[in-house]
Structure 1
Amino acid sequence: MESVNTNQKSYTSLIWILSIAIPVVVAILIFTPEKIQGAGDWVYMLPHLNATFNTLTTIVLLLGLYFIKQKNIRAHKSMMSIAFTLGSLFLVSYVIYHSTADSTVYGDVNGNGVLEEAEKTGKLMFWRGFYVVILLSHILLAAIVVPFVLFAFYYALTDKIEKHKKIVKWTFPIWLYVSITGVIVYGMVSQYYLN
């Protein structure tokens, strides 16, 4: 029994460490002015790949919901495992991109990385405001959902189904929102990608 409690505490500690480390590392990579050099032009394909990961995650999450409503636990587990894998691949791709390339600025028509006065037109600023609200909610909830997703998987894998059910009531809608808004953000900013 003591071994089980020790393992549970170890996994719980690991989940909290990852839940703090992931957003911190991502923030450092995004806000560090110096990017890692020498990665090559292939990194400019990563935002498109990330949008694909988010689209597939949305579809798979909805399939996971459908299967659990049908009481098809095996298919549900498969879909949620695929969603978790897609999310992990997204995270790796996202970190590689933001550690090697500057972020694209919404409304930066001339592609110089700065929103200049001439680019701050009325209609464009309205859509930029909408974009920023969606982007900020996406980023904030993406950071918040990490421990919930990890605990949901931990509870499912350790057959703590009641705890799993309680946590996914909050986790699922947040995760779905993050994946959908990831696609929306990409769709809005992709017209400003240079490569």
Structure 2
Amino acid sequence: MDQIQKKEKKFNRWINGVSILVPIVVAIMFGVKIPNVEPLYFLPPIYASINGLTAVILILAVWAIKNGRQELHQRLMTTCIALSLVFLVLYIAYHMTSDSTSFGGEGVIKYIYYFILITHIILSIGIIPLVLKTYARAYLKKYDEHRALAKLTFPVWLYVAITGVVVYLLISPYYAYP
């Protein structure tokens, strides 16, 4: 087994662990409320904006690679991963200090909201290994495999980023601010 295969095997173990651990930790954190802490009501528009910015940067990253700007593409994709981590921390912080908000819409909009929310949640879990494996393949200079996986990763990640904004816009009228 050569060095690249060893590195890839190590990355895959790490990626699989992170991909399982993150959703479990997030689910556990949803059940934890920090007592005697002011609810962080200001966070939802911030993390929704991070989702929107991630969507824009993902599109710019595709433009960069299609125009031969590999270094810019790499920096933009690294930025998207960093933004996703910041989003996750803020999202968890909000839910550990605030009660969940129920969607108050009725009729067809309620079904649209829940469809978008459920697909967003499911795909946000699935995007974790896709992003990490796509990034690892680029890091290992396995560009053909990177490109092939990126063709799946990009639209899923873009959907998650955009629907994160849409979910916020749909539920924001129902937030209970002090």
State the TM-score, normalizing by the size of structure 1.
0.85
CA contact (8 A) 2:137 2:145 kept: yes
The aligned runs of 1:9-158 (5 Å cut-off) are 9-30=9-30, 32=31, 34-41=32-39, 43-107=40-104, 124-158=106-140
Code of the aligned partner of 1:35: K
Partner amino acid, structure 1, of 2:112: F
Q: Give unpaired runs (5+ residues) of structure 2.
A: none
Whichever residue aligns with residue 11 of structure 1, its letter is: F
| Distance change >3 Å, CA 3–CA 156, structure 1 → 2 | closer
Which is higher, the Rg of structure 1 or of structure 2?
A: 1
Counterpart AA for 2:133: F
**Which amino acid in 2 is paired with 1:159?**
K
Gaps of 5+ in 1: 108-122
Is residue 164 from structure 1 mapped to residue 129 from structure 2 by the alignment? no
User: What number of residue pairs does the alignment pair up?
Assistant: 177
Identity across matched positions, percent? 37
Give the secondary structure class of the aligned counterpart of 1:14.
helix
Which one-letter code corresponds to 2:149 in the other structure? I
Amino acid at match of 1:91: L
Aligned equivalents of 2:117 and 2:124: distance in 1?
A: 10
Bigger RCO (CA 8 Å, 6+ sep): 2
Secondary structure at the aligned position of 2:107 is classed as helix
> Which AA in structure 2 matches 1:156?
A
